[in-house]
Structure 1
Amino acid sequence: MAALVGAIGLLPWLSRTDPALTVLKARSADRDPTPETLRAIRDQLGLDDGPPALLGRWLGGLLHGDAGTSWVSGGQVLPGVVQALGASLLLMSGALVVAAGTVAAVCARTLRLGSRGRLAARGPGGTASAVLAALPEFLVASVLASVIGVQLGWLPALGWYGPQWMVLPSLALGLPAGAILGRMLDDLLPGAFAEPWALAAAARGVPPRSVARQAVRRCVPGLLPNLGLFVVGLTGGSVAVEQIFDIPGLGRLTLQAALAQDLPVLQTGALALVLVAALAGVLARLSARLLIGPALRDGALHSLHRPGPTAPRALPLLYGALLAAVIGFGLPRDALALDTLARLRAPSLAHPFGTDALGRDVLARVSHGALTTLGIALAVSAAALVAGLLLGLLPRLSGPLVDTVAAVPPVLAGLLVAGIAGSGPWTPAFAVGVVAWSPLAAHTSSLLRQERATTHLAATRALGAGRWYLLWHELLPAVLSPVARHALLRLPGIALSLAALGFLGLGAQPPSPEWGLLLAENQPYAERAPWAVLFPAAVLALLGALAVTAAGGVRLPRRRKRPESPAGPPGERVMPPRRQRNSPDALLAPVPTSVSTSPAEER
């Protein structure tokens, strides 16, 4: 926390621009930046004293409940931050309600079949949830605001004046977050329904609703760390949604302070986000202990991640072929050619995806932008997966880091990285990579904590297995597959975050055909030329469907069973035929074992 607050305090000097000039532009853009005016601002704000003195005065004021005054507005900082935090927490609560309903819809089929003991094989899941998880929040917010709020007039689209005004932004935030959490829960439920207690309950006629409720309770501890991260993201990372719906939230306030280099507001807002992240992390860990604490202590859990059937390969191949066809068909076209006479034209044979506001071919821009956007997104996802696994294996080290890094929105991370390394093509990749590993590390630590409490691990340790053997042969195989599937789920979001940071001027500049730039540039023309937004969004949703369906095939390989001879060696009892693992009779039968006996014992 100290390092983060200190880095934010150095942001005006790291950006290699005069803080007085930035403050003057934020206060009055028409005023000339004369040396006398800039000197007066430096004297007023104490900029000549240097960052340590400014940080010391700010920390000293916090001890007395005073966060200082804004460099731009001149008002007190703390009341404004508290009011913005209240609006963000209220919006977050509404988004969590929507996310819970989305999770229930995504997992409805698995819960229905598993609670009745009929979940024979796990399918790849619904494509609708995959598409929903890939859609960016600001695109969902734009569609809801323009269609439901403006055209139909069912709900208000702008402002923050009562419960009606929080419905659309809650939907925009909760639907994508609920789709991702639903996919993660749907990935854990088959393992819970395959445990002995669930099979016995289904065989004895326990009501399916009770079985489903206990299965969800069994899987929730593995999702609680990521749920805490989603809470933080919905609080401080919903900048675009707050901008579209004109919500005075904390994320919007922090971003505006960062762009204006309003240091007191920026530091206080970042400190509030870090405290929210720390509180969410503590509550997640306490909730996990309350749910499965005794089982973790006694080592009485079963592994939720066991070898299972892979997902069908037809859907990933189909989505991959469609994506490759779109990219291949548009690459021969010129993505930068301007035609002012063909502005905002509808799709036709000459322009299958239509044209944008400058007459450029949308298909060409989507195809050329895919090369850079997907390539960098794959590299960042792979690096985040490796970092998340390595740090997740060290929960005492990664726990505080996750709580702190999770509080930094990608936009603020991009500003910090740009201030240190400067703007460039790799600035967005580094900024997103700084924060992309934290949910994967939290997922790894949560799964590792449960795997260490499993009965088969205790038995393997009792047989003399060492620490490294347990790590390489038991823990890593159980953790790697679900975390890799989680990384694939986040691939579309990483691709969009990269492009969004480039649009803010922290990476590639226009007219670069990045996907985030396409959506942001064409968003003002969504009502007049909806194809300019729908086709790039459809390609992004296609990428999400490809990533999610491909994630269903990332599973542990089945271990080959050793062939059993009909007659064993002398002095060894022959093992009876094994019953099916999932049959109810196997629960009540004793476990068949092979026991060596002496001739005297046989007599």
Structure 2
Amino acid sequence: MTALASLRLPTRAPGGARADGRRALLQPGVLIPLVVLALAVLWAVAPGLFTSQSPTETVAPSLLAPSAEHWFGTDATGRDLYARVVYGASQSIIGAIVAVAVGLVVGTALGVTAGAVGGALDEVLMRLVDVLLAIPGLLLSLSVVILLGFGTTNAAIAVGVTSIAVFARLARSRVVSVRVSDFVEAAYGSGGTFFGVLWRHVLPNSLTPVIALAALQLGSAILQISTLGFLGYGAPPPTPEWGLLIAEGRNYVATAWWLTVLPGAVVVLVVLATNRLSQAIGRKDAA
């Protein structure tokens, strides 16, 4: 009896899981990325709360260095660069959210269908996914943008198309592994229908890694949309967009470094924040 008692698993007080979740959220490695990402989203939703300057009008002499009056300096036409970065968040962040939504919805639907149904349908869908994976992402997004036309929305759709295959492969692998679990077999043995078991048991235990991937793809989508904007396939001037801002300053790197360094630093910080949150979600799922 004593030996059995020594093997007893430790118990956790009620609310312990919630307390652990709050402590994990308050860790600097998670809290700082959350603040950075929340600030970027607020820039995109309500830019007027963070600057009173116009992003498209000349407000000062050109190529002023960063100062207390103009935090990021001014560009070649005298526009406030900080205001352009803040207002540019709506193009980059919202575009990235649209891109991730396209990849998440379409890719997850394909992956779940292939993994749940199996058989010939699984083979056909996965071969289509392999074709998408074989095409370089930038080449595929450029091809879609050329077909749809230039602009932030079309660029977001193009970037979303490039991520469909990644979401489909992950969703399928998770559904296939969960589908053969004992509790799924027990659900079928208890009279559960195909769609009922899929909705109640398979999907809830399959989609957490997909959500973590969505957070990771958000950062990747910001980079890809900025790349398309840098190449001239995104928002047209004078609309502020992060990739376009970096492109506009590339001719002044030697004389006005802030035109490329500061918008580029904002892009890097936001992408790193999304990647860190994705890692935190993934570790929580693994635990």
TM-score normalised to structure 2 length? 0.73
Matched ranges for 1:161-180 at <5 A: none
Following superposition, the deviation at residue 472 of structure 1 comes to 0.9
Structure 2 residue 194 is matched with structure 1 residue 467: yes
Q: Which residue of 2 aligns with 1:371?
A: 90
Match of 2:238 among 511, 536, 558: 511
Match of 1:431 in 2: 158
Query: In the alignment, is residue 318 of structure 1 matched against residue 35 of structure 2?
Result: yes
SS at match of 2:236: coil
- 1:490 matched to 2:232? The reply is no
Check if 1:335 corresponds to 2:55. yes
Residues 60 and 80, structure 2, Cα contact 8 Å, conserved in 1: no
Does structure 1 retain, via aligned residues, the 8 Å contact 2:59–2:80? Answer: no
Shift of the alpha carbon at 1:433? 2.1
Q: Secondary structure at the match of 2:157?
A: helix
Deviation of the 1:459 alpha carbon: 3.7
After superposition, the C-alpha distances for 1:266-308 in whole angstroms (9 at most, x for unaligned) are xxxxxxxxxxxxxxxxxxxxxxxxxxxxxxxxxxxxxxxxx9x
Q: Which runs of 5+ in 2 are unaligned?
A: 1-11, 13-17, 115-121
Structure 1 stretches of 4+ with a deviation exceeding 6 A read 554-557
| 1:347 correspondence with 2:66 | yes
Change (3 A) 1:500 1:548: closer
Q: Deviations for 1:421-445, whole angstroms, at most 9, x for unmatched residues?
A: 3334532122222212111111111
Per-residue deviation at 1:377? 1.7
The residue type paired with residue 35 of structure 2 is: L
> Which residue pairs with 1:476 in the alignment?
203
Tell me which protein shows more helix as a share of its residues: 2
Q: Does the aligned pair in 1 maintain the 2:141–2:162 contact within 8 Å? A: no
Segment drifting more, 437-446 vs 542-551: 542-551
Alignment of 1:366-445 (within 5 A): 366-395=85-114, 396=122, 397-445=124-172
**Further displaced range: 392-401 or 432-441:** 392-401
Supply the distance in 2 between the matched residues of 1:464 and 1:556 (Cα, whole angstroms). Answer: 32
Residue type of the partner of 2:223?
L
Deviations along 1:493-550, whole A, 9 cap, x unmatched? 2123223323434342222211111223324444544333332233223323543455
Seq. identity, %? 34
Matching residue's letter, 2:243: G
Relative contact order: is structure 1 or structure 2 higher (C-alpha 8 Å, sep ≥ 6)?
2
Shift of 1:367: 0.7
User: Per the alignment, do residues 359 and 347 of structure 1 end up closer, same or farther by CA in structure 2, a change over 3 Å counting?
Assistant: same
* Partner residue in 2 for 1:452: 179
SS in 2 for 1:506: coil
Residue pair 1:391, 1:441 contacting (<8 A) in 2 also: yes
Whichever of the two has the greater Rg, that structure is: 1
Contact 2:98 2:160 in 1 (8 A): no
Shift of 1:351: 1.1
In 2: Cα distance, 1:347 partner to 1:428 partner: 31
Contact 2:167 2:210 in 1 (8 A): yes
Alignment partner of 1:356 is 2:83: no
Cα distance change of structure 1 residues 500 and 541 upon mapping to structure 2, 3 Å threshold: closer
Question: Following the alignment from structure 1 to structure 2, what is the Cα–Cα distance between the partners of residues 462 and 414?
Answer: 46
User: Shift in Å at residue 486 of structure 1?
Assistant: 0.6
CA distance in 2 between counterparts of 1:520 and 1:476 reads 43
Number of paired residues? 252
SS of the aligned residue for 2:203 comes to helix
Report the CA distance between 1:458 and its aligned residue.
Answer: 3.3
CA distance in 2, matches of 1:416, 1:405: 12
- Residue 325 of structure 1 and its aligned partner are, at CA, apart by 6.9
Determine if the alignment matches structure 1 residue 547 to structure 2 residue 274. yes
Q: Distance between the aligned counterparts of 2:149 and 2:263, measured in 1?
A: 29
Letter in 1 for 2:164: W
* C-alpha distance in 1 between matches for 2:283 and 2:199: 16
SS at match of 2:134: coil
Structure 2 Cα separation of the partners of residues 341 and 333 of structure 1: 14
CA distance in 2: counterparts of 1:556 and 1:458, whole angstroms: 26
Amino acid at match of 2:178: E
Letter in 2 for 1:347: P
CA distance in 2, matches of 1:422, 1:321: 31
Contact 2:141-2:159 within 8 A present in 1 as well: yes
* 8 Å Cα contact 1:417-1:431 kept in structure 2: yes
1:383 partner amino acid: V
